[in-house]
Amino acid sequence: MTKGEVAKILAVFAAAYPHFEVDDLKVHVWHEIFKDVDYEVANVAAKKIILEKTFPPSIAEFREAIISITSPRLMSAAEAWGEVKDAIRRFGYYRESEALASMSEATRKTVQYMGWKSICTSEDPEGVLRGQFIRMYEQVAGREKERTMLPDTIKSMISSLAEKFTFPELPSGDERKVEAHG
């Protein structure tokens, strides 16, 4: 969105919420966060918020509304477990690559972390294993949601900062020499 389009969205919020004030700084900050968003999508998200929320949105709430419009809905953990059970029935133990290809991204990542063969051979798939899957899926899905919430500009800033703080790999095996003191 352009700064002018951001100002229009904020003016709509000001009209809908009497205590929502718009000034140049707010327009600037919101523009920095939402310049990657299409105006039509933001306009729909603003209307959605006005119809659903009693109070004006924070930047995070507005971003969530935009993401809810533009991104496919993440499954609940129970739905994801159902997806795993269906893949087990359809593909079994030996067709792991086909089973993984049939799953949504977050479900696939969770299954890969846990191990397809371990899941398939579990003695108690509806007990402890299900609980472990659900807890792990919620973490994976939470990270996925967090990743989609960030604008590309912020993601690239985080990546470049992370590179500055990456430690070099230590040599392994015979490459390192440890001197004995004593």
Q: 54 or 157, which is more confident?
A: 54
> Are 81 and 55 contained in the same domain?
no
- Give yes or no for a contact between 25 and 8, defined as CB atoms under 8 angstroms apart: no
What is the pLDDT, as a whole number, of residue 9?
A: 96
Residue 115 confidence (pLDDT) above 60: yes
Residue 174 confidence (pLDDT) above 70: no
Six-digit token pair at 162?
């992370």
> Are 60 and 14 contained in the same domain?
yes
Closest CA to 147 of 32, 48, 67, 40: 67
Closest CA to 66 of 81, 88, 46: 46
Terminal-residue alpha carbon distance, the chain: 68
Q: Considering the domain boundaries, does residue 142 fall inside one?
A: yes
- Give yes or no for a contact between 83 and 104, defined as CB atoms under 8 angstroms apart: yes
Least confident of 3-7, 35-39, 74-78: 74-78
Expressed as residue numbers, the domain containing 87 is 77-148
Give the pLDDT band (50/70/90) at residue 51.
very high
DSSP state of 174: G
What is the pLDDT, as a whole number, of residue 81?
A: 94
> Are 65 and 83 contained in the same domain?
no
pLDDT digits (tens, 9 = 90+) for 118-156: 999 888 767 888 999 999 999 998 888 777 777 777 777
> Are 30 and 81 contained in the same domain?
no
- Give yes or no for a contact between 83 and 75, defined as CB atoms under 8 angstroms apart: yes
Nearest-angstrom CA–CA distance, 10 and 161: 31
Give the pLDDT band (50/70/90) at residue 180.
low
Q: Considering the domain boundaries, does residue 161 fall inside one?
A: no
Q: Of 14, 46, 70, which one is at a domain's C-terminal end?
A: 70
Q: Which three-class secondary structure state does DSSP give residue 161?
A: helix
Q: Considering the domain boundaries, does residue 170 fall inside one?
A: no
Mean pLDDT of 101-128: 89
